[in-house]
A and B are shown apart, each in its own frame.
Chain A
Amino acid sequence: MSTQPRRRRLEVEDHGEVTVVNFIDRKILDEQNIAKIGEDLFSLVEELGRKKILLNFSNVEYLSSAALGKFISLNKKVQQAGGKLLMCNINPDIMEVFEITRLDRLFSIQRDEQTALEAF
């Protein structure tokens, strides 16, 4: 019996102590995808012990409230581990979602990757 290879949803790069995560999907809408993205993000903290994480949204055009839920859970895990989660390159439509839900107050959001890396 063959097992289906797991599709890559995140691109993870280390910049010094900071782990930069890029999303492969342009739309983070599908529930099953979101669950897998959540597992991959949580494993960065829980299994790999990463404490400084930057989520780069430059590829992302859409996301749903289920995705927001995963980012909130990730933020809690990072904080519990004594680390820091930052976000950057959020497009204006998605930024509006963060603003109307007031999540722009919960998350530290930076304009671009360079500014975010300097903010850690």
Chain B
Amino acid sequence: MRKCFQDGSVEVVIPSDLNEGQQVRDIIETQLRLHHFEEKEIFGIRLALDEAIVNAIKHGNKMDGRKRVHICFHVQIDRFDIHITDEGAGYDPNQVPDPLFDENLERSSGRGIFLMRHYMSEVTVHAPGNRLTMCKVRKKVPLKGDAR
């Protein structure tokens, strides 16, 4: 289900299906290109989105087909905002071991939230931990005449 609002924001509700998550990422990537985001910015946003949506489906909803993921995003020329809510019990991001510590370097998971924080301007996990908001504020915005 997809709803588009007058201010340009889009709301999507998807089942706990990784392919559906992939489609949402593709739609957002297309919108970022239409708004002239640079390739490097798109790389980082795409990576953060991938981590967030896969987390919601896999760890939040535990792949339960009856549960949904609610996504609301807004792409503007100078910023990208997204809210992702799953129907799981939530988690405390402070309990995730720091992936940069020597003893955690060889852990095969636990880098998702770290990557989101690196590539996005702001990342907030809201209690009880099943709702995430992220934004990317662009440092350099093309002037109207520069848009190609």
- Which A residues contact B (CB, under 8 angstroms)? 29-32, 62, 64-66, 68-70, 72-73, 76, 93, 97, 100-103, 105-106
Q: How many residues of B are in contact with the other chain, CB < 8 A?
A: 24
Q: Which residues of A contact B99 (CB under 8 A)?
A: 101-102
**Count the A-B residue pairs with Cβ separation under 8 angstroms: how many?**
55
Q: Mark B58-101, 1 if CB is under 8 A from A, else 0.
A: 10000000000000000000000000000000000000000110
Q: Which residues of A contact B112 (CB under 8 A)?
A: 65
- Which B residues contact A (CB, under 8 angstroms)? 18-19, 22, 25, 40, 43, 46-47, 50-51, 54, 58, 99-100, 105-109, 111-112, 114-115, 118
In the complex, are the beta carbons of B105 and A62 less than 8 A apart?
A: no
* 8 interchain pairs, CB-CB under 8 A: A29-B22, A29-B46, A29-B50, A31-B54, A65-B111, A72-B106, A102-B100, A103-B105
Bound-state CA distance A105–B99 (Å) is 13
In the complex, are the beta carbons of B51 and A65 less than 8 A apart?
A: yes
CB distance from A120 to the nearest CB of B (A): 22
Bound-state CA distance A31–B53 (Å) is 11
Which of B18, B47, B112, B118 is packed against the most chain A CB atoms within 10 Å?
A: B47
